[in-house]
Amino acid sequence: MKASSRFRMQLLIQNGIFAVLLVVAAFLILWLLKDSRLQWDLTQSQRNTLTKATLDVLTRMPGPINVTAYARPRDAVQGDLREQINEFIAPYQRVKPDLSLKFVNPSENPNETRAANVRLDPELVIQYGKVTEHLTSFNEQAMANLLQRLVRGQERLVMYVTGHGEPALDGERNFDLGNFGQQLANKGFRIGALNLAIAQEVPDNVSVLVLAAPRAPLQRAELVKLKSFLERGGNLLWLIDQAPLQGLEPLAEYLGLVLTPGIVIDPVAAGMGGQATLAIGNSYGVHPITEGFAYNTVFPQVRQIATRPENADWHSTELVRAAQRGWVETGSLDKAVRFDKDRDVPGPITVAVTLERKVKDKDQRVVVFGGTSFLANMYVGNVTNLDLGVNVLNWLAQDENLITVQPRPSVDSQLQLSQFMVNILGLFFLIILPAVLLFAGGMIWWRRRQA
């Protein structure tokens, strides 16, 4: 049955009205969403999403952050530098709308570039309050470190005792703590050495003093200076090996420490192919240092650390417990070791404690670990030892609000497309594919009209 011309006209008008309303609805949706940004990060490691720790740091920064990007519009090798910087800064601007970004062309503004002490292209100069920092590595970890330095405001001075064969915070040997010290420097700490035989006393501007396993005895005068520093309310990180205390016994007595002999043995580490003297820490006390810290740490050649129940005015907290199924071996390590219930101490073993007290209305903080190797260059990169160490220093320096920014592992690959490929994809999806669909729709409509 052939449709009348009047029916075909009504059908054409209905279809036309529907098409117009569909286009109008699409434009209305686009207009309503023009200022909205909804994104999904489908990368395996959530590479394009800021970590919670970075978000926490940003929310603790009231007031504007001004970012000046010194970059040419285009680079022959790196492409559109400004677009890359925009993409890098965009996630931070979504979290903090008062983070502003402006661009300066170093070629057109050489005087301004020199005045800003900019040496690379591209380079970001980030100002928060009266503090200015430079950024040349465009990744979240570098940016997170920079934000911590901005929040910290002024540098915290961390000094380590030297002159007795101690591991150095700027040393490069396997047993030194140089990698740890470099990470502290990245986060706004200033590192310095302190020879107590020469210095009149520990300077008052020292935020944290690090005392790490001396190999030669300290003189009585040096011990007096250490004790005076603690009596004034100084903060201390003490790393104690199983070796002799080299004259520091009075300091351990002053802090109320109980240092039992023996090395912690962990059969779990031995079962995983490691040494039995490598203890795995996976149990942490309720403390700001380890709040939300659910990671394994490793402690080579570590000893047990305890405090006396009646510890004067110090308040102690067990910070790290290791070797859940291990023990403290008090016998010789030259032969196969096994647990002796009559002599050895069963696990879990406390290998780190914190001490706190009030000194003249000032919060004094001390952290004691039963070994230095977990922060040594040889081991600090294992699991999250470095993060634990940084958390400890932040807490000791009264900066617990900066705990903690974890590094982000990048386990998936990025798809890098040339500008030519981007143009081809845009041409296909924005022009060719819609044209094909319109042509197919037109053909279907034409055939139906002829039916």
> Which tokens in the block code for residue 241?
């090996």
pLDDT on residue 399:
86
Closest CA to 340 of 324, 351, 323, 328: 328
pLDDT on residue 411:
47
Count Cβ atoms within 10 A of the Cβ of residue 156 and give its class: 0-12 exposed, 13-18 middle, 19 or more buried.
buried
**Are 223 and 248 contacting, i.e. CB atoms less than 8 angstroms apart?**
yes
Phi and psi, residue 358, nearest 5°: -100, 130
Radius of gyration of the chain from its Cα atoms, rounded to whole angstroms: 31
Q: Taking the model in full, what pTM does it have? A: 0.72
| Per-block mean pLDDT, blocks of 10 residues, the chain (451 long) | 68 81 83 64 63 81 92 78 90 91 92 90 90 88 85 85 94 93 89 95 95 94 96 96 92 93 87 81 92 89 91 90 90 78 87 94 94 92 86 92 58 62 82 85 79 64
**Are 383 and 402 contacting, i.e. CB atoms less than 8 angstroms apart?**
no
pLDDT on residue 120:
85
Distance separating alpha carbons of residues 403 and 290, to the nearest angstrom = 9
pLDDT on residue 313:
85
CA dihedral 267, 273, 278, 280 (to 10 degrees): -70
Distance separating alpha carbons of residues 384 and 186, to the nearest angstrom = 17
